[in-house]
Amino acid sequence: MNSSQLNCFLAVADSLSFARAAEKLHITQPAVTHQINSLENELDVKLFKRTTRAVELTKEGYSFIPDAKSILNTISMAKVRFSVQEKEAPAPFHIGCHQGELHFLPSIIKNMAKLYPNIHPFLKTIPSPALLNLLQTEAIDVLFGMQGMDTSKYSCQFRELAKVSISCVMQKDHPLAQKEIITSSDLDGQHIAILDTLNTPSLVLNQQGQLLKNHPTALVYCCETTEEILLLVRSGMAITFMPDVVPMREDSLAYIPIPNSISVSYGLYYKTLQKKPMLKSFIKVAGEFFQT
């Protein structure tokens, strides 16, 4: 596997056209085809579905995109390190996160830059199962998430940053937004967006089941990502339940407590702290942020 293959793959994945990829890379279309074929042979999978009319990514092709980008980033950083003095070289730090963390990550990274002026943060915002795979292979250094994700197949540690409860989330002009608490009876007739069972921590899943025990299935949107849920909530199509991490709140939404809701640990997953001073510092800085 080489950078030419990966660049061709990403160019075709971006444009879904071998011809446009060739134009972008300033090479011939047969050369692009050769690189893709050799990459597929090496990986022993089909990355694209090709017909005379269209090019589409396969499931394997879609899942390979973050790997290809990560490998090319590593190659790029290695070239930079060899082209400048080591003390001036960027220090890469890879963070797995979701859209919610983008609300507070700038503050943490700003404080990290005071300790490591050369830090170069890379963000991965793909779904949690894929992020756990990247953590396992150490393609990322740390991952934000709720304790209770299925980590049975992975070797990783968890550091708690905060204990959070479950809140009901909705638009601020929603009729329920004026209530002080939300009970099961308030949910009658409401469209509710929830994460599917594969992506929901077990404790949250249990609370979700209790709240929706008698709720009509036709009024429930089952989503693959938190981002999809928040899209439905922002558009006024649904309300939702989620662990209420205060620094991740959106100003346009209302967060109403649910009485006697469970307490869930929110924090950081990492593989090991051995010989990783930057990771140790990041955990410390993140912990200080959540204590303020």
pLDDT at 224: 81
* 71-161+266-291 and 163-265 share one fold: yes
What gap in Å lies between CA 97 and CA 95, rounded to an integer? Answer: 6
Q: How confident is the model at residue 88 (pLDDT cuts 50, 70, 90)?
A: low
* Segment 253-282 mean pLDDT: 93
Q: How confident is the model at residue 78 (pLDDT cuts 50, 70, 90)?
A: confident
pLDDT at 77: 76
pLDDT in tens, 101-130: 999 999 999 999 999 999 999 999 877 778
Query: Hey, what CATH topology would domain 3-65 get?
Result: Arc Repressor Mutant, subunit A (1.10.10)
pLDDT in tens, 17-39: 999 999 999 999 999 999 999 99
Q: At residue 84, does pLDDT exceed 60?
A: no
pLDDT in tens, 144-195: 998 877 777 778 899 999 999 999 999 999 999 999 999 888 999 999 998 8
Domain positions in the chain: 3-65, 71-161+266-291, 163-265
pLDDT in tens, 234-248: 999 999 998 999 999
Q: At residue 251, does pLDDT exceed 70?
A: yes
CATH 3.30.70.890 fits domain 71-161+266-291: no
Average pLDDT, the chain: 89
Q: At residue 100, does pLDDT exceed 70?
A: yes
pLDDT at 9: 92
* Segment 248-263 mean pLDDT: 92
Q: How confident is the model at residue 87 (pLDDT cuts 50, 70, 90)?
A: low
Q: Which CATH superfamily is domain 163-265 in?
A: Periplasmic binding protein-like II (3.40.190.10)
